[in-house]
C-alpha cells in the first residue's frame, strides 16, 4: 500500500482548506476523498468511502471526536487528531489516535504523522493471510519477582502479559496472576532483552503468545490463552515490527 484514502472532519472551513492544501502539497500518499464539517456528515462519508485515515478535529458542533469514534465501533481506519486543544492529547493517544497534531499545523509533524499511519497500513497488509512468526523467537530466561519475604523466580516464557495497576503490576501466568509492587515501566525495562512489547499504557505482552491481531477500533491482540488485549494506535508499529 502506497496510498491512503483519507477524510477531513473539521468544523472550521479555513482549517479544512489549509489542511487539504498541505496534504496535496506535502503528502503524496494521501488521496483525499471528502470533507465534513460535523459528526453527521462525517459518519456519512465514513460509511460511503471506507477510509484508511481520518483527520479529525476534537471539538465540533453537537459533539466531539470521541462521540464520532464511539459511533463506529468496528472501525479499521486510523485517526490523526488535529486540534487547538492540548487537554485531549493523552486520552486521544491512549485510546483512539495514531497521532495528535496541534494547530497551527507544523508541516514536518504532519508529514511524520502521515508516514507513521502509512507504515501501520503497510505492515498490516503485508501480514494479512500470512503465518505469523515472531522475529525474536521464544522468550527464554528467568526474572526475579520481589516479595515481602524475599523473591520468586519465574521463567520469562511463562509470562503471558503484564498489566498496570497504578504503582503495581499484575503478572499473568497460565493458571494464576501475581501482584507485584513495581510499576509496568519497571517490567518493560527488565524484560527489554526479551520479546515483550508495550502495546498499551496498561499492557506489556509476550509476543510469542500472540495468536491473532484485530484491526478494529484501536486494534487488539488475542493471546494463546484466549485473552484479548487492546493495542493503542500509537503502539501498533512497535508490535507489528516483531512479526515477519
Q: Could you state, in order of their start, the residue ranges of all structural domains in the chain?
A: 4-127, 142-240
Enumerate helices (H) and strands (E) in the chain, giving the number of each.
7, 17
Within this chain, domains 4-127 and 142-240 share the same CATH topology: no
CA 213 to CA 122: how far, in whole Å? 15
What pLDDT was estimated at residue 90? Answer: 65
- Residue 145 pLDDT class (50, 70, 90 cuts): confident
What pLDDT was estimated at residue 126? Answer: 76
CA 86 to CA 100: how far, in whole Å? 9
What architecture is the 142-240 domain classified under in CATH? Beta Barrel (2.40)
Tell me if 183 sits within 8 A of 169, measured CB to CB: yes
The correct CATH number of 4-127 out of 3.40.640.10, 3.40.50.2300, 3.30.70.250, 3.40.50.300 is: 3.40.50.2300
pLDDT digits (tens, 9 = 90+) for 24-33: 999 999 999 9
- H or E, element range at 82: strand 78-83
pLDDT digits (tens, 9 = 90+) for 63-100: 788 888 888 877 889 999 998 877 766 666 665 688 88
pTM of the full structure:
0.77
Percent of the chain with pLDDT over 90: 57
- Please give the grid coordinates belonging to residue 239: 508490535
pLDDT: which is higher, 21 or 175: 21
CA 217 to CA 196: how far, in whole Å? 22
Asked whether the predicted pLDDT for residue 134 surpasses 60, the reply is no
Amino acid at each position: 500500500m502506497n496510498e491512503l484514502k483519507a477524510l477531513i472532519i473539521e468544523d472550521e472551513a479555513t482549517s479544512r482548506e489549509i489542511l487539504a492544501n498541505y496534504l496535496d502539497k506535502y503528502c503524496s500518499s494521501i488521496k483525499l476523498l471528502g470533507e465534513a464539517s460535523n459528526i453527521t456528515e462525517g459518519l456519512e462519508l465514513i460509511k460511503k468511502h471506507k477510509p484508511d485515515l481520518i483527520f479529525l478535529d476534537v471539538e465540533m458542533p453537537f459533539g466531539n471526536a470521541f462521540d464520532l469514534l464511539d459511533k463506529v465501533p468496528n472501525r479499521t481506519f486510523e485517526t490523526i487528531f488535529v486540534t487547538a486543544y492540548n487537554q485531549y492529547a493523552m486520552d486521544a493517544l491512549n485510546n483512539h489516535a495514531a497521532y495528535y497534531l496541534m494547530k497551527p499545523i507544523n508541516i514536518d509533524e504532519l508529514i511524520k504523522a502521515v508516514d507513521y499511519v502509512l507504515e501501520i497500513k503497510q505492515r498490516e497488509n503485508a501480514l494479512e493471510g500470512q503465518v505469523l512468526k515472531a522475529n525474536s523467537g521464544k522468550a527464554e530466561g528467568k526474572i526475579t519477582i520481589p516479595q515481602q519475604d524475599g523473591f520468586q523466580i519465574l521463567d520469562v516464557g511463562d509470562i503471558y502479559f503484564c498489566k498496570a495497576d497504578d504503582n503495581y503490576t499484575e503478572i499473568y501466568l497460565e493458571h494464576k496472576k501475581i501482584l507485584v509492587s513495581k510499576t509496568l515501566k519497571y517490567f518493560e525495562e527488565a524484560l527489554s532483552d526479551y520479546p515483550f512489547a508495550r502495546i498499551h499504557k496498561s499492557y506489556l505482552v509476550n509476543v510469542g503468545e500472540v495468536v491473532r491481531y484485530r484491526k478494529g477500533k484501536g486494534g487488539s491482540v488475542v493471546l494463546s490463552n484466549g485473552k484479548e488485549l487492546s493495542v493503542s494506535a500509537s503502539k501498533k508499529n512497535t508490535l507489528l515490527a516483531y512479526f515477519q
